[in-house]
Amino acid sequence: MFVMMVLVVVIVVVVLQNIGSFRAIHSISGGSSWLLVVVVVVVGVVVVVVWVMVLVWCCRGFKTVGPFVTMIYTMLVGDLLRFVTIYFVFIMGFSQGGSN
């Protein structure tokens, strides 16, 4: 839980420090604001997802929800991480094999 809280704080600090960079993005994109909107939406989604993860992690103490949180965490760390690693190896292999 401590790691997730630190992650939330780091994301908020980075967002607050980069508010000035939004103007730079706006000027880089030639005055159009589509890139600015994409950056703001992505940062907003990441902050919400991390906060939901922190709240779910705090639910471990309840009898009815705790085992499910532990089960989902075990699946994410074990099975899904293994799947993403194998998937990444295959995607990299096929992407390099197709570039003649």
Greater model confidence, 31 or 66: 66
pLDDT tens digits for range 33-70: 666 667 777 778 888 888 888 888 888 888 998 898 88
Prediction pTM value: 0.47
pLDDT of residue 94: 85
Q: Which of 49, 50, 24 is nearest to 36 (CA)?
A: 24
pLDDT of residue 86: 94
Per-residue burial over 36-73, b = 16 or more CB atoms within 10 Å of its CB, e = otherwise? beebeeebeeeeeebeebeeeeeeeeeeeeeeebeeee
